[in-house]
Amino acid sequence: PAPRTVLLTGAAGGMGTLMRELLPAYGYQLRLLDQLPIEGEPDAITADLSDRDALREAVRDVDAIIHLAGISLEAPFEKILRSNIEGTYNLYEAAREAGVRRIVFASSNHAVGFTPRPAETPVPGASLIPLDTPRRPDTFYGLSKSFGEDLASLYWDKHGIETVAIRIGSCFPEPTTVRMLSIWMSPADGARLLHAALTAENVGYTVVYGSSANTRLWWDLSSARALGYEPRDDSEPYAAKLIAEQGELDPDNPDHAYLGGAFCTNPPIWPR
């Protein structure tokens, strides 16, 4: 049966807030969790991913989990270790103990961030970054997503817990950089992809790239489409304005040369 009660971790965050608004229309009953309290959501569970007792309680009787909680940018290794590496382990252990069968894991493009971006875009159908491209984390943050993907693989092979790991591009209301034109995932498409990842049958352990059907797409969306995901949005209407403001991507600029963009520079610099 299709999952109904779904634990949404990271529900106070940017994407969590967007998905809290969009997912109920698909029929889900969301149980919310975050380390921060959520205004207007008195039933939300306020707990840190290090609190194993709280996680045990949070996963009880849920059909599936969408795991968005974690540090979402580069940070000192000790912090990444605690929230993203140990935190994700704690959540998978709680899921295993409770018999939860499916987790959708928010991985990131930064697990493969040092992959050179396709030189020319758009090149229809040509040289898209494949799903089996070697992991090339661009930060401790990207490394934690790489760990999360392998943890999910282990829990599928050993414990039969299914995971769809989504290497999310940039999920924000609008793309704000030229790089994002290629990897933008509109919130509506994000909800479509999460719904597909929750309901597709026999996913085992599956990795997908997460974006809209952008004209300037850099990566292969076929495994996402195989889940039943049909993206409806394209960043192209934002292209002219962003390129006029910021210029075309320059392959000689290290910030533009790799999929992970500015996360690849040391220290990372944020374009926004």
Min CB(142)–ligand 15L separation in Å: 8
Residue pair 53/45 in contact (Cβ under 8 Å)? The answer is no
Q: Is 92 a catalytic residue?
A: no
Burial class (CB within 10 angstroms; exposed 0-12, middle 13-18, buried 19+) of 89? middle
User: Does the protein bind ligand 15L through residue 110 (CB under 6 A)?
Assistant: yes
Residue closer to ligand 15L (CB basis): 84 or 206: 84
Give the residue from 7, 59, 11 showing the smallest Cα distance to 35: 11
Min CB(170)–ligand 15L separation in Å: 4
Residue closer to ligand NAI (CB basis): 58 or 128: 58
- Binding partner of 2, given ligand 15L, ligand NAI, none, CB within 5-8 angstroms per partner class: none
User: Does the protein bind ligand 15L through residue 67 (CB under 6 A)?
Assistant: no
- Binding partner of 36, given ligand 15L, ligand NAI, none, CB within 5-8 angstroms per partner class: ligand NAI
Min CB(33)–ligand NAI separation in Å: 7
What CA–CA distances, in Å, run from 78 to 85, 86, 89, 173, 258? Answer: 10, 10, 15, 31, 26
Residue closer to ligand NAI (CB basis): 81 or 239: 81
Question: With CB under 6 A, what is the number of residues at the site for ligand 15L?
Answer: 7
End-to-end distance of the chain based on CA atoms, in angstroms? 42
Give the residue from 20, 155, 4, 144 showing the smallest Cα distance to 94: 155
User: Does the protein bind ligand 15L through residue 170 (CB under 6 A)?
Assistant: yes
- Which DSSP symbol is given to 189? H
* Residue burial 198-210, b: 16+ Cβ < 10 Å; e: rest: bebeebebbbbbb
Min CB(155)–ligand 15L separation in Å: 22
Stretch that binds ligand 15L, among 18-26, 41-49, 103-111, 222-230 (CB under 6 A): 103-111
The sign of the torsion formed by the CA atoms of 65, 191, 14, 163 equals: positive
The distance of Cα 259 from the centroid of its chain, to the nearest Å, equals: 15
Contacts with ligand NAI, residue ranges (CB under 6 A): 10, 12-16, 34-36, 48-49, 68-72, 83, 87, 106, 108, 168, 170-172
Binding-site ranges for ligand 15L (CB under 6 A): 72-73, 108-110, 170, 180
User: Which residues are annotated as catalytic?
Assistant: 141
